């Protein structure tokens, strides 16, 4: 299922799958001005990071973002995907499904914490017990949210944080959870007359 996300550009960079030529360099220049980090070394390192994230394989239909905290801190990648839920839609079924997703994606999690970031959104978040930077296969943290009223079938939004240690990701989990408010399946987006 395709996913669309429109995050706060002050904290997030959306990594396009097929960017125009020079995209990473231009994004790094813009971001360095926003963060008041105008050194050429930082800009070059940031452009290289954006290119690396773009080239890292995407296993399924997902959106990839880079979190950039204030002052260029809390930098980590997040992959977002929508997973059709195979449960009966009850609270117990949803919780079992979401806990199973976390267990599958995060081999050594701390105890998952329940989330209720909005009246029509519920789920769990968990951070890895590992101390090393996460990868796409072994993320640092996972957030799973069920959002009522998306498509007609129950769908969980799965967010995997990687490219930083669990400690760094844990300090910005609220920003990650907030992404649930700006995500929609592509099929659910309003159509314009041109499309």
Q: What is the CATH number of the domain that holds 126?
A: 3.40.1000
Token code pair at residue 111: 């105890």
Residue 17 confidence (pLDDT): 87
Q: Model confidence over 18-77: pLDDT tens digits? A: 889 999 999 988 888 777 777 788 889 889 999 999 999 887 778 999 999 776 678 999
Name the nearest CA neighbour of 12 among 51, 57, 70, 83: 70
Total structural domains within the chain: 2
Do 24 and 12 lie in one domain? The reply is: no
Q: Residue 129: is its pLDDT beyond 60?
A: yes
Do 86 and 30 lie in one domain? The reply is: no
Residue 32 confidence (pLDDT): 81
Do 72 and 39 lie in one domain? The reply is: no
Q: Residue 95: is its pLDDT beyond 60?
A: yes
- The pTM assigned to this predicted structure is 0.87
- What integer best gives the mean pLDDT of the chain? 86
Name the nearest CA neighbour of 152 among 60, 94, 85, 81: 85
By residue range, what is the domain housing residue 28? 18-57
Do 45 and 84 lie in one domain? The reply is: no
Stretch 110-130: mean pLDDT:
93
Instruction: List phi, psi (to 5°) of 85.
Output: -80, 140
Start-to-end C-alpha separation, the chain:
19
Do 39 and 115 lie in one domain? The reply is: no
Residue 153 confidence (pLDDT): 73
Residue 77 confidence (pLDDT): 96
């Amino acid at each position: 299922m395709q996913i669309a996300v429109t995050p706060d550009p002050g904290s997030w960079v959306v990594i396009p799958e097929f960017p125009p030529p020079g995209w990473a360099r231009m994004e790094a220049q813009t971001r360095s001005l926003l963060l008041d980090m105008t050194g050429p070394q930082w800009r070059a390192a940031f452009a290289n990071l954006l290119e690396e994230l773009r080239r890292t394989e995407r296993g399924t239909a997902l959106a990839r973002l880079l979190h950039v905290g204030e002052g260029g801190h809390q930098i980590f990648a997040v992959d977002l995907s929508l997973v059709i839920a195979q449960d009966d839609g009850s609270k117990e079924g949803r919780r079992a499904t979401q806990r199973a997703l976390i267990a599958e994606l995060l081999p050594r999690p701390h105890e998952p914490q329940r989330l209720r970031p909005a009246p029509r959104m519920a789920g769990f978040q968990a951070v890895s017990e590992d101390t090393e930077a996460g990868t796409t296969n072994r993320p640092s943290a996972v957030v799973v949210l069920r959002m009522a009223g998306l498509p007609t079938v129950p769908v969980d939004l799965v967010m995997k944080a990687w490219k930083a240690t669990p400690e760094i990701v844990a300090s910005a989990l609220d920003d990650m959870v907030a992404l649930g408010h700006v995500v929609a399946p592509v099929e659910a987006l309003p159509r314009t007359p041109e499309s």
